[in-house]
Homo-oligomer: A and B are copies of this chain.
Amino acid sequence: MNTTQYLEANNQRFLDELLDLLRIPSVSADSARNEDTFRCAEAVKSALLAAGCTHAEICKTKGHPIVYAERMVDPKLPTVLTYGHYDVQPPDPLDLWTSGPFDPVVRDGKIYARGACDDKGQVMMHVKALECMVQTQSLPCNVKFMIEGEEEVGSSNLGKFLKANKDKLKADIVLVSDTSMISMEHPSIETGLRGLAYMEVELTGPNRDLHSGVYGGAVANPITILAKMIASLHDKQNRVKVRGFYRDVVDLSPAERKALNDAPFDEAAYKKDLDVDALWGEEGYTTLERTGVRPTLELNGIWGGYTGEGAKTVLPSKAYAKISMRLVPNQDSRKIARQFTKHFERLAPPGVRVKVTELHGGEPVVTPTDGKAYQAAAKAIETTFGKKPIPTRGGGSIPIVALFEKVLGLKTVLMGFGLDSDNIHSPNEHYGLLNYYKGIETIPHFYKNYAANH
């Protein structure tokens, strides 16, 4: 029996085991759920042992624990370190979910639950792929697993864990499935991830909330001033107007641009899916470039004053916003955070005070397509999908990928099987059954190819 046949014989159980994992509300941002999050770590540990790891442990951190597991076959074989996360995004707003976020159902060939795609569905593909290889005596590499519980809240304890466990985590390559493909018809591999600098700003006008009749017109309103400052962050061509922002950006070569834009992109379908009349972005770039290879600045949240029901005539003391910037090579997140802070502080007129805080950051990464790991993944996908994958540049950030290179000296191959339409971070997140099974089918081919080329 080969791994694909084993998968076919066990696919119902593979689904049931994923649904079990999805039922655990491992919301890392919610301290009220800490017990559930810990329970999820234990479930992942059990799953890894059941799949064939010879050793598995829960590694404590200052926050949620990291699950480490391994199956060493032969020191002469290459070692693949798989990273994933068992924590999930908060499910709110709850009223927009069709079925409960932690009550997984399969509907129209998709598994609906918080974490179905990001990242439990994708983690389980690797766990089940290991079981397939072990049960068919075809595991050609040493395997190590590092599944953390804080990716959705910034992985603040991961760096320390990596630094303290360099020997334990020794490997040849890191494998991550936390990204998406263009579609099942057009499989792709993410060769680049944008970096991230996430800032929070607070503006203070008067020292207390005021009656907007008595004081309106006499003092600067921090909401109005914040709006003006935010409005000035993009120019008429929708370029980011933070001094120095584009200085370190390395543009794509004409050939790279062409390759990127050759990927299929249906603008009409994209607009229809989002129900917008028009797209918006940096002039002179396509949508794929705007989300993949151009740095951006985005407003993630804004609040100030009275936001409840009805009318309250207040001139508020404070206004706030959460602003994040996506970065591309060779922008540096600490430098960008400093540039933003300086720029934003300078923007503030007299009459308001500004406070800028950096919440978290991460560097952009690019994986070269001529590397051994990329080639192994590309060949695996060609085998199971019947066509070569398109190399894409992802809009999202996985800051720890840069960390793996910096601390462990390891490159990462991003072989994800999700789809952009999976609604990760939103209500009704889902993951295609076909995507789940295709991942379990493809991963053993990666291992085979990688071992063969090593």
Interface, chain A (partner B; CB < 8 A): 29, 89-90, 96, 153-154, 180, 194, 196, 198, 205-221, 223-224, 226-228, 230-234, 270, 274-282, 287, 290-291, 294, 296, 298-307, 309-316, 319-322, 324, 326, 349-352, 359-360, 394-397, 420, 423-427
Contacts and interface: CB of A to CB of B under 8 A. Distances in A.
Given A196-B313, A224-B299, A319-B302, A277 B216 contact: no
Contact of A300 (B212, B234, B270, B299): B212
A412 to B, nearest CB: 16
27 contacts: A89-B312, A154-B311, A206-B275, A207-B274, A207-B275, A209-B426, A210-B274, A212-B324, A213-B395, A213-B396, A217-B326, A217-B395, A221-B298, A224-B230, A224-B234, A227-B299, A227-B302, A228-B231, A231-B231, A276-B351, A277-B350, A301-B305, A301-B314, A302-B305, A305-B322, A307-B322, A312-B425
A204 to B, nearest CB: 9
Given A198-B313, A299-B304, A302-B307, 17 more contacts: A29-B310, A196-B213, A206-B274, A214-B395, A214-B420, A217-B326, A219-B280, A219-B281, A220-B278, A220-B279, A220-B280, A221-B299, A224-B298, A226-B302, A300-B305, A301-B316, A302-B319
Contacts of A282: 217
A193 to B, nearest CB: 8
A230 B319 CA distance: 14
A303 B303 contact: yes
A233 B320 CA distance: 20
Given A359-B311, A396-B211, A306 B296 contact: no
This chain's copy number in the assembly: 2
A25 to B, nearest CB: 17
A194 B214 CA distance: 10
Contacts of A90: 312
Given A350-B278, A351-B276, A360-B311, A302 B223 contact: yes
Nearest to A287: B218
Contacts of A153: 310-311
Contacts of A322: 305-307, 311-312
Contacts of A311: 153-154, 198, 300, 322, 324, 359-360
A333 B314 CA distance: 19
A301 B308 CA distance: 9
Contacts of A303: 302-304, 307
B234 A359 contact: no
Given A208-B426, A280-B351, A216 B296 contact: yes
A370 B274 CA distance: 63
Given A279-B351, A312-B425, A425-B314, A301 B296 contact: no
Given A206-B276, A395-B216, A301 B306 contact: yes
A431 B370 CA distance: 77
Contacts of A278: 220, 349-351
Given A298-B216, A304-B301, A312-B301, A209 B425 contact: yes
